[in-house]
Amino acid sequence: MISCQIDKRLRAAGGEMQFRMDLQVPRGQLLALYGASGAGKTSTLRMLAGLMAPDAGRIEVGGNVWFDSTSGINLRPQQRGLGFVFQDYALFPHLTVRQNLEFGAPKDQKAVVDELIDLVELGGLQHQRPGTLSGGQKQRVALARALVGRPSLLLLDEPLAALDLKIRLKLQDYLLRVHREYGLTTLLISHDLGEIHKLCDRVLVLEQGQVVREGTPSEVFQSDRISGKFKFTGEVLGIQPQEFLFLVTVQVQDQVVQVVALPSEVRALAVGDRVLVASKAFNPVLYKLD
Ligand SMILES: Nc1ncnc2c1ncn2[C@@H]1O[C@H](COP(=O)(O)OP(=O)(O)OP(=O)(O)O)[C@@H](O)[C@H]1O
Protein backbone atom coordinates (compact mmCIF):
# COMPACT_ATOMS: atom_id res chain seq x y z
CA MET A 1 0.00 0.00 0.00
CA ILE A 2 1.22 3.48 -0.85
CA SER A 3 -0.07 6.20 1.39
CA CYS A 4 0.87 9.70 0.37
CA GLN A 5 -0.31 13.08 1.64
CA ILE A 6 1.89 15.81 0.21
CA ASP A 7 1.83 19.54 -0.45
CA LYS A 8 4.13 21.61 -2.61
CA ARG A 9 4.13 25.09 -4.06
CA LEU A 10 5.05 24.79 -7.72
CA ARG A 11 6.03 27.59 -10.07
CA ALA A 12 3.62 27.29 -12.95
CA ALA A 13 3.70 29.37 -16.14
CA GLY A 14 0.92 31.65 -14.82
CA GLY A 15 2.31 32.07 -11.28
CA GLU A 16 2.41 29.85 -8.21
CA MET A 17 0.36 26.66 -8.14
CA GLN A 18 -0.52 24.77 -4.96
CA PHE A 19 0.01 21.06 -5.49
CA ARG A 20 -1.86 18.78 -3.08
CA MET A 21 -2.12 15.00 -3.27
CA ASP A 22 -3.88 12.68 -0.83
CA LEU A 23 -3.46 9.24 -2.29
CA GLN A 24 -3.82 5.60 -1.22
CA VAL A 25 -2.75 2.98 -3.75
CA PRO A 26 -3.32 -0.68 -2.81
CA ARG A 27 -0.50 -3.09 -3.59
CA GLY A 28 -0.72 -4.52 -7.11
CA GLN A 29 -2.76 -1.65 -8.54
CA LEU A 30 -1.93 -0.07 -11.90
CA LEU A 31 -2.89 3.57 -11.55
CA ALA A 32 -2.95 6.17 -14.33
CA LEU A 33 -2.28 9.88 -13.87
CA TYR A 34 -4.07 11.89 -16.56
CA GLY A 35 -4.36 15.62 -17.11
CA ALA A 36 -3.31 18.61 -19.19
CA SER A 37 0.29 19.74 -19.52
CA GLY A 38 1.48 21.39 -16.32
CA ALA A 39 -1.20 19.77 -14.11
CA GLY A 40 1.45 18.20 -11.86
CA LYS A 41 1.70 14.59 -13.11
CA THR A 42 5.50 14.43 -13.41
CA SER A 43 5.88 16.31 -10.12
CA THR A 44 3.82 13.58 -8.42
CA LEU A 45 6.21 10.89 -9.68
CA ARG A 46 9.30 12.98 -8.87
CA MET A 47 8.15 13.47 -5.28
CA LEU A 48 7.42 9.75 -4.88
CA ALA A 49 10.86 8.97 -6.34
CA GLY A 50 12.69 11.37 -4.04
CA LEU A 51 13.82 13.59 -6.91
CA MET A 52 11.82 16.57 -5.60
CA ALA A 53 11.03 17.26 -1.93
CA PRO A 54 7.45 18.13 -0.94
CA ASP A 55 7.10 21.22 1.28
CA ALA A 56 5.10 19.18 3.79
CA GLY A 57 3.49 15.78 4.24
CA ARG A 58 4.26 12.10 4.47
CA ILE A 59 4.89 9.23 2.04
CA GLU A 60 4.71 5.67 3.34
CA VAL A 61 5.18 2.63 1.09
CA GLY A 62 4.63 -0.93 2.35
CA GLY A 63 4.96 0.22 5.96
CA ASN A 64 8.25 2.09 5.35
CA VAL A 65 8.34 5.87 5.72
CA TRP A 66 10.04 7.46 2.70
CA PHE A 67 9.26 11.05 3.54
CA ASP A 68 7.93 12.75 6.64
CA SER A 69 8.28 16.48 7.02
CA THR A 70 7.50 16.47 10.76
CA SER A 71 10.29 14.02 11.66
CA GLY A 72 12.65 15.18 8.90
CA ILE A 73 12.76 11.81 7.06
CA ASN A 74 13.56 12.05 3.35
CA LEU A 75 15.04 8.86 1.87
CA ARG A 76 17.32 9.21 -1.14
CA PRO A 77 15.99 7.80 -4.45
CA GLN A 78 18.36 4.77 -4.21
CA GLN A 79 16.96 3.91 -0.77
CA ARG A 80 13.34 3.84 -1.93
CA GLY A 81 13.28 0.61 -3.96
CA LEU A 82 11.56 1.85 -7.06
CA GLY A 83 11.94 1.66 -10.81
CA PHE A 84 11.52 4.68 -13.07
CA VAL A 85 11.02 4.69 -16.85
CA PHE A 86 10.97 7.96 -18.79
CA GLN A 87 9.88 8.72 -22.33
CA ASP A 88 13.48 9.23 -23.48
CA TYR A 89 14.87 5.80 -22.37
CA ALA A 90 17.93 7.29 -20.55
CA LEU A 91 20.17 4.29 -21.34
CA PHE A 92 23.97 4.36 -21.09
CA PRO A 93 25.04 4.63 -24.76
CA HIS A 94 28.52 3.12 -24.29
CA LEU A 95 27.24 -0.04 -22.56
CA THR A 96 25.58 -3.03 -24.23
CA VAL A 97 21.99 -3.99 -23.44
CA ARG A 98 23.22 -6.59 -20.96
CA GLN A 99 25.70 -4.19 -19.34
CA ASN A 100 22.95 -1.57 -19.02
CA LEU A 101 20.96 -4.09 -16.98
CA GLU A 102 23.96 -5.33 -14.97
CA PHE A 103 24.86 -1.76 -14.03
CA GLY A 104 21.72 -1.42 -11.90
CA ALA A 105 21.67 -5.03 -10.66
CA PRO A 106 22.70 -6.02 -7.16
CA LYS A 107 26.07 -7.86 -7.07
CA ASP A 108 26.04 -11.49 -8.30
CA GLN A 109 22.52 -11.19 -9.63
CA LYS A 110 23.20 -12.67 -13.06
CA ALA A 111 20.01 -14.73 -12.71
CA VAL A 112 17.86 -11.60 -12.38
CA VAL A 113 19.42 -10.10 -15.51
CA ASP A 114 18.89 -13.36 -17.43
CA GLU A 115 15.28 -13.55 -16.28
CA LEU A 116 14.53 -9.98 -17.35
CA ILE A 117 16.22 -10.41 -20.73
CA ASP A 118 13.93 -13.41 -21.29
CA LEU A 119 10.84 -11.61 -19.98
CA VAL A 120 11.11 -8.70 -22.40
CA GLU A 121 12.58 -10.91 -25.18
CA LEU A 122 15.93 -9.17 -25.61
CA GLY A 123 18.09 -12.31 -25.86
CA GLY A 124 19.16 -11.69 -29.45
CA LEU A 125 20.07 -8.06 -28.75
CA GLN A 126 21.86 -8.34 -25.42
CA HIS A 127 25.35 -7.65 -26.77
CA GLN A 128 24.32 -4.64 -28.88
CA ARG A 129 24.60 -1.01 -27.79
CA PRO A 130 21.48 1.20 -27.51
CA GLY A 131 22.48 3.25 -30.58
CA THR A 132 21.77 0.23 -32.80
CA LEU A 133 18.28 -0.43 -31.39
CA SER A 134 14.82 0.80 -32.42
CA GLY A 135 12.75 3.00 -30.08
CA GLY A 136 10.57 0.08 -28.99
CA GLN A 137 13.61 -2.11 -28.29
CA LYS A 138 15.28 0.69 -26.27
CA GLN A 139 12.14 1.10 -24.21
CA ARG A 140 12.09 -2.64 -23.47
CA VAL A 141 15.68 -2.30 -22.21
CA ALA A 142 14.68 0.70 -20.08
CA LEU A 143 11.77 -1.27 -18.65
CA ALA A 144 13.98 -4.29 -17.86
CA ARG A 145 16.61 -2.02 -16.31
CA ALA A 146 14.02 -0.39 -14.06
CA LEU A 147 13.21 -3.85 -12.70
CA VAL A 148 16.70 -5.24 -11.93
CA GLY A 149 16.65 -3.83 -8.41
CA ARG A 150 13.39 -5.75 -7.77
CA PRO A 151 11.39 -2.60 -7.01
CA SER A 152 7.99 -2.77 -5.37
CA LEU A 153 6.91 0.47 -7.05
CA LEU A 154 7.24 1.20 -10.77
CA LEU A 155 6.90 4.80 -12.00
CA LEU A 156 6.30 5.28 -15.72
CA ASP A 157 6.40 8.81 -17.17
CA GLU A 158 4.77 8.52 -20.60
CA PRO A 159 7.10 5.65 -21.50
CA LEU A 160 5.37 4.82 -24.78
CA ALA A 161 4.48 8.30 -26.05
CA ALA A 162 7.39 8.54 -28.51
CA LEU A 163 6.64 5.20 -30.16
CA ASP A 164 4.43 4.52 -33.14
CA LEU A 165 1.07 2.91 -32.55
CA LYS A 166 1.94 -0.66 -33.55
CA ILE A 167 4.98 -0.78 -31.25
CA ARG A 168 3.04 1.01 -28.50
CA LEU A 169 0.34 -1.67 -28.49
CA LYS A 170 3.00 -4.38 -28.22
CA LEU A 171 4.87 -2.57 -25.44
CA GLN A 172 1.60 -2.20 -23.51
CA ASP A 173 1.47 -6.00 -23.39
CA TYR A 174 5.03 -6.11 -22.00
CA LEU A 175 4.10 -3.51 -19.37
CA LEU A 176 1.08 -5.50 -18.27
CA ARG A 177 3.14 -8.69 -18.18
CA VAL A 178 5.90 -7.25 -15.95
CA HIS A 179 3.36 -5.48 -13.74
CA ARG A 180 1.58 -8.79 -13.07
CA GLU A 181 4.56 -11.17 -12.97
CA TYR A 182 6.52 -8.96 -10.58
CA GLY A 183 3.52 -8.14 -8.38
CA LEU A 184 4.26 -4.44 -8.85
CA THR A 185 2.35 -1.37 -7.85
CA THR A 186 2.61 0.87 -10.90
CA LEU A 187 1.88 4.55 -11.55
CA LEU A 188 1.66 5.45 -15.23
CA ILE A 189 1.40 8.92 -16.75
CA SER A 190 -0.44 8.66 -20.05
CA HIS A 191 -2.46 10.86 -22.39
CA ASP A 192 -3.70 7.87 -24.33
CA LEU A 193 -7.23 6.91 -23.29
CA GLY A 194 -7.00 3.58 -25.13
CA GLU A 195 -3.83 2.78 -23.20
CA ILE A 196 -5.41 3.78 -19.88
CA HIS A 197 -8.49 1.63 -20.56
CA LYS A 198 -6.36 -1.33 -21.56
CA LEU A 199 -3.83 -1.20 -18.71
CA CYS A 200 -5.14 0.62 -15.69
CA ASP A 201 -7.38 -0.34 -12.76
CA ARG A 202 -7.90 3.24 -11.73
CA VAL A 203 -7.25 6.74 -13.03
CA LEU A 204 -6.70 10.09 -11.33
CA VAL A 205 -7.41 13.23 -13.32
CA LEU A 206 -5.22 16.16 -12.26
CA GLU A 207 -5.95 19.83 -12.84
CA GLN A 208 -3.83 22.66 -11.46
CA GLY A 209 -2.04 20.39 -8.99
CA GLN A 210 -5.20 18.79 -7.57
CA VAL A 211 -7.08 15.54 -8.22
CA VAL A 212 -10.42 16.55 -9.74
CA ARG A 213 -11.79 13.10 -10.66
CA GLU A 214 -10.94 9.52 -9.91
CA GLY A 215 -12.35 6.09 -10.57
CA THR A 216 -12.06 3.25 -13.05
CA PRO A 217 -11.25 4.38 -16.62
CA SER A 218 -14.87 3.73 -17.65
CA GLU A 219 -16.26 5.75 -14.76
CA VAL A 220 -13.94 8.67 -15.41
CA PHE A 221 -14.06 8.89 -19.19
CA GLN A 222 -17.59 7.86 -20.06
CA SER A 223 -19.72 10.85 -19.48
CA ASP A 224 -23.28 10.14 -18.33
CA ARG A 225 -24.71 12.29 -21.09
CA ILE A 226 -23.17 9.98 -23.67
CA SER A 227 -25.06 6.77 -24.18
CA GLY A 228 -24.77 4.54 -27.14
CA LYS A 229 -24.17 1.12 -28.56
CA PHE A 230 -20.52 1.85 -29.27
CA LYS A 231 -17.98 4.35 -27.96
CA PHE A 232 -14.34 4.72 -28.78
CA THR A 233 -11.72 7.39 -28.44
CA GLY A 234 -9.33 8.61 -31.09
CA GLU A 235 -7.38 11.50 -32.52
CA VAL A 236 -8.64 13.86 -35.23
CA LEU A 237 -6.49 13.55 -38.37
CA GLY A 238 -8.51 15.81 -40.65
CA ILE A 239 -11.67 17.91 -40.97
CA GLN A 240 -13.02 18.35 -44.50
CA PRO A 241 -15.99 20.63 -45.24
CA GLN A 242 -18.68 19.03 -47.42
CA GLU A 243 -21.69 20.88 -48.77
CA PHE A 244 -23.54 21.38 -45.44
CA LEU A 245 -21.65 18.99 -43.23
CA PHE A 246 -18.08 18.03 -42.38
CA LEU A 247 -16.21 14.78 -42.83
CA VAL A 248 -13.98 14.16 -39.81
CA THR A 249 -11.20 11.60 -40.10
CA VAL A 250 -10.35 9.98 -36.76
CA GLN A 251 -7.58 7.55 -35.90
CA VAL A 252 -8.75 4.92 -33.44
CA GLN A 253 -5.98 2.56 -32.37
CA ASP A 254 -4.59 1.30 -35.70
CA GLN A 255 -7.75 2.06 -37.71
CA VAL A 256 -8.82 5.23 -39.46
CA VAL A 257 -12.56 5.99 -39.50
CA GLN A 258 -14.57 8.82 -41.06
CA VAL A 259 -17.53 10.40 -39.32
CA VAL A 260 -20.02 12.83 -40.84
CA ALA A 261 -20.40 15.71 -38.39
CA LEU A 262 -22.55 18.78 -37.99
CA PRO A 263 -20.99 22.28 -38.08
CA SER A 264 -21.84 22.57 -34.34
CA GLU A 265 -19.84 19.40 -33.61
CA VAL A 266 -16.68 20.58 -35.37
CA ARG A 267 -16.77 24.23 -34.27
CA ALA A 268 -14.39 23.65 -31.34
CA LEU A 269 -12.50 20.83 -33.03
CA ALA A 270 -8.97 20.93 -34.47
CA VAL A 271 -6.60 18.40 -35.98
CA GLY A 272 -4.82 16.60 -33.15
CA ASP A 273 -7.74 16.86 -30.69
CA ARG A 274 -8.81 13.74 -28.84
CA VAL A 275 -12.45 12.84 -29.39
CA LEU A 276 -15.00 10.32 -28.28
CA VAL A 277 -16.96 8.77 -31.13
CA ALA A 278 -20.30 7.36 -29.96
CA SER A 279 -23.56 6.26 -31.53
CA LYS A 280 -26.77 8.16 -30.96
CA ALA A 281 -29.96 6.90 -32.58
CA PHE A 282 -27.71 4.80 -34.85
CA ASN A 283 -25.71 7.83 -36.07
CA PRO A 284 -22.10 8.32 -35.01
CA VAL A 285 -21.51 11.58 -33.12
CA LEU A 286 -18.32 13.25 -31.94
CA TYR A 287 -17.51 14.69 -28.52
CA LYS A 288 -14.32 16.68 -27.93
CA LEU A 289 -12.41 15.42 -24.88
CA ASP A 290 -10.61 17.71 -22.36
N1 LIG B 1 11.20 21.86 -9.01
C2 LIG B 1 10.14 22.64 -9.26
N3 LIG B 1 9.86 23.71 -8.47
C4 LIG B 1 8.79 24.48 -8.71
N5 LIG B 1 7.93 24.28 -9.72
C6 LIG B 1 8.14 23.24 -10.55
C7 LIG B 1 9.27 22.36 -10.36
N8 LIG B 1 9.22 21.40 -11.33
C9 LIG B 1 8.14 21.67 -12.08
N10 LIG B 1 7.49 22.77 -11.63
C11 LIG B 1 6.26 23.37 -12.18
O12 LIG B 1 5.18 22.55 -11.78
C13 LIG B 1 4.16 22.55 -12.79
C14 LIG B 1 3.73 21.12 -13.06
O15 LIG B 1 4.76 20.46 -13.79
P16 LIG B 1 4.68 18.90 -14.15
O17 LIG B 1 5.93 18.60 -14.94
O18 LIG B 1 4.45 18.14 -12.90
O19 LIG B 1 3.38 18.84 -15.06
P20 LIG B 1 2.84 17.63 -15.94
O21 LIG B 1 1.40 17.46 -15.57
O22 LIG B 1 3.72 16.44 -15.81
O23 LIG B 1 2.95 18.23 -17.40
P24 LIG B 1 3.40 17.55 -18.82
O25 LIG B 1 2.24 16.70 -19.25
O26 LIG B 1 3.61 18.73 -19.71
O27 LIG B 1 4.66 16.77 -18.56
C28 LIG B 1 4.75 23.23 -14.01
O29 LIG B 1 4.16 24.50 -14.14
C30 LIG B 1 6.23 23.34 -13.69
O31 LIG B 1 6.77 24.53 -14.22
- In 3-state terms, what secondary structure has residue 149? coil
Instruction: Say how many Å lie between the CA of residue 10 and the centre of ligand 1.
Output: 7
Which of 44-53, 99-108, 204-213 comes out lowest in average pLDDT? 99-108
Distance CA 83, CA 81 (A): 7
Q: What is the ipTM of this complex?
A: 0.94
CA 109 from chain centre, in angstroms, equals 29
Of 191, 172, 167, 287, the closest CA to residue 232 belongs to 287
Give me ligand 1 centre to Cα 278, in Å: 34
Give the rounded distance of the alpha carbon of 162 from its chain centre. 12
For 44-63, letters b (16+ CB in 10 Å) and e give bbbbbbbeeebeebbbbbee
In angstroms, what is the span from residue 38 Cα to ligand 1's centroid? 5
* Residue 260: partners with Cβ closer than 8 Å, 6 or more residues away: 242, 245, 246, 247, 248, 284
pLDDT > 70: percent of the chain: 94
- Nearest atom in ligand 1 to the alpha carbon of residue 206 is 21
Give, using CA atoms, the residue closest to atom 17 of ligand 1. Answer: 42
Q: What is the mean pLDDT of residues 122-132?
A: 92
Tens of pLDDT, residues 187-201: 999 988 888 988 999
Ligand 1 centroid to residue 273 C-alpha, Å: 22
List all residues whose CB is within 6 A of at least one atom of ligand 1.
10-13, 17, 35, 37-43, 52
Residue 286, beta-bridge partner list: 277
